[in-house]
């Protein structure tokens, strides 16, 4: 690397390196004139401080890291936007890290902490069934946002948690469909081995059926293949098409555990000549914009994305600043009645 460094700048300006450092980092103890002169030279010579070296020395980095599992999930797009805004508002740096589906988010976080030394972390998406021991290695305050969890971890007060109650909201939707008179409700669920929101939403569905005097029928529970991304229109379309083709099961309503899946299902129904909601009622979950723009508009559970994202950041900063301890915040979803469902 023939690249220019802080020493070169110091030499060029005829000052010490510490002075240059002070200029770069807006330290108070520096003569404005010297500072200007140095900044001038930096511009001229296209000097760019080396972040690795900075991070190595720094003990603290006025940044929030957001780790995202499933970055292409449209549900997260909005959250990310709010995170960005809120974090910038606090004059913090926003570090976004995608986490591969096969990666362990805590490991990634651990690496990131060493590397960038953020003051706080947000985990977005994914499952979360880590041992307490592992979580305790995380020396930085963190918030789990929109993440399903195993009960055992929910009690812990060493971190925060923001989400809707996936079980209860799913119950709400299923109950709604039951009250509309549907007795045979097909569910397009996640993978069979899901341990996260997929499972919670499935359980909520089953419980609601039982409470409405309907015996859950395994034939009406459709699962995605293990290993594929199941919150997609593609999955909804494929499985719905197959079911309609096979004509093995009988149902009057479809409850998809995400709006994307629901839209795929709608398409499959329409393509088979079916009408929504006349032939089948269809309901989704999430409350994406597209649920409202789709034709017919989708009945769905709207998660209050903005508030959840704002709350996530607020809680994180409260913890960072010692204003409050960790919190578990559960948001209420809103059942939005669209044109895609009707009573029978």
Partner DNA sequence: TTGTACGCGTTATCAC
Partner DNA sequence: GTGATAACGCGTACAA
Measured distance CA(167)–CA(123) in Å, rounded: 20
Q: Which residue has the tokens 């990310």?
A: 80
Least gap, CB of 213 to a copy of itself (angstroms) = 34
Residues 6+ apart with CB under 8 A from 335: 172, 173, 176, 299, 300, 301, 302
Partner touching 233 among DNA, a copy of itself, none, CB below 5 to 8 Å by kind: a copy of itself
Asked if residue 43 binds DNA (CB under 7 A), the reply is no
Site for DNA in 155-194 (CB under 7 A): none
Asked if residue 24 binds DNA (CB under 7 A), the reply is yes
Least gap, CB of 135 to DNA (angstroms) = 22
Q: Report the alpha-carbon angle 81-82-86, nearest 5.
A: 125
What is the H or E stretch that residue 106 is in? helix 105-116
Tell me the HSE value of 252 on the side-chain side, using a 13 A CA sphere: 13
Asked if residue 53 binds DNA (CB under 7 A), the reply is yes
Give the residue among 306, 300, 288 at the shortest CA–CA distance from 79: 306
What is residue 215's three-state secondary structure? coil
Partner touching 295 among DNA, a copy of itself, none, CB below 5 to 8 Å by kind: a copy of itself
Asked if residue 116 binds DNA (CB under 7 A), the reply is no
The DSSP letter of residue 137 is T
Q: Which residue has the tokens 């706080």?
A: 120
What is residue 6's three-state secondary structure? helix
Nearer Cβ to DNA (59/157):
59
Rounded to 10 degrees, what is the CA torsion of 305, 311, 312, 314? Answer: 150
Asked if residue 54 binds DNA (CB under 7 A), the reply is yes
Asked if residue 93 binds DNA (CB under 7 A), the reply is no
Tell me the H-state helices in 139-191: 151-154, 166-179
Are 221 and 173 a contacting pair, CB within 8 Å? no
- By CB under 8 A, the count of residues binding a copy of itself is 44
Asked if residue 30 binds DNA (CB under 7 A), the reply is yes
Q: In what order do the strands lie in the sheet with 160-164?
A: 93-99, 63-69, 120-124, 142-145, 160-164, 328-331
Nearer Cβ to DNA (45/242):
45
Q: Compose the 263-292 pattern: x for residues touching a copy of itself by CB under 8 A, - for all others.
A: xx-xx--x------------------xx-x
Binder of DNA out of 34, 241, 270, 297 (CB under 7 A): 34
Measured distance CA(125)–CA(137) in Å, rounded: 20
Asked if residue 39 binds DNA (CB under 7 A), the reply is no
Least gap, CB of 242 to a copy of itself (angstroms) = 16
Binder of DNA out of 59, 102, 139, 157 (CB under 7 A): 59
Contacting positions for DNA (CB under 7 A)? 1, 3, 5-7, 14-19, 21-22, 24-25, 28-31, 33-35, 49-50, 53-54, 56-59
Contacting positions for a copy of itself (CB under 8 A)? 1, 3, 46, 48-53, 55-56, 59, 71-72, 74, 77-78, 80-81, 84, 96, 98, 100, 110-111, 114-116, 137, 233-234, 237, 263-264, 266-267, 270, 289-290, 292-296
């Amino acid at each position: 690397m023939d690249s220019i460094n802080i020493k070169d700048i110091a030499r060029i300006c005829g000052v010490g390196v510490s002075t240059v450092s002070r200029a770069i980092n807006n330290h108070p103890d520096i003569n404005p004139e010297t500072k200007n002169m140095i900044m001038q030279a930096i511009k001229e010579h296209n000097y760019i401080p080396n972040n690795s070296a900075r991070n190595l020395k720094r003990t603290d980095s006025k940044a929030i890291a957001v780790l995202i599992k499933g970055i292409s999930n449209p549900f997260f797009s909005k959250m990310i936007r709010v995170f960005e805004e809120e974090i910038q508002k606090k004059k913090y740096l926003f570090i976004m890290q995608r986490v591969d589906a096969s990666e362990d988010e805590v490991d990634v976080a651990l690496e990131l902490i060493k590397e960038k030394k953020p003051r706080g972390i947000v985990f977005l998406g994914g499952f979360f069934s880590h041992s307490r021991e592992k979580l305790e290695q995380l020396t930085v305050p963190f918030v789990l946002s929109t993440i399903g969890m195993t009960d055992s971890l929910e009690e812990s007060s060493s971190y925060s948690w923001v989400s809707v109650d996936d079980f209860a909201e799913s119950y709400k939707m299923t109950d709604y469909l039951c009250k509309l008179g549907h007795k045979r409700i097909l569910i397009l669920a996640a993978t069979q081995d899901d341990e996260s929101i997929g499972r919670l939403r499935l359980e909520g569905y089953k419980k609601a059926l039982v409470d409405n005097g309907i015996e859950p029928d395994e034939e009406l529970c459709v699962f995605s293949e293990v290993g594929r991304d199941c919150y997609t229109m593609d999955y909804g379309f494929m499985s719905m098409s197959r079911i309609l083709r096979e004509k093995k099961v009988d149902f009057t309503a479809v409850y998809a555990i995400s709006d994307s899946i629901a839209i795929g299902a709608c398409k499959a129904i329409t393509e088979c000549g079916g009408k929504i909601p006349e032939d089948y009622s269809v309901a989704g979950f999430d409350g994406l914009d597209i649920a409202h723009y789709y034709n017919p508009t989708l009945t769905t559970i709207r998660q209050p994305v903005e508030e959840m994202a704002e709350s996530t950041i607020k809680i994180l900063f409260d913890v960072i600043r010692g204003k409050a301890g960790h919190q578990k915040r559960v948001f209420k979803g809103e059942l939005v009645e669209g044109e895609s469902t009707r009573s029978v």
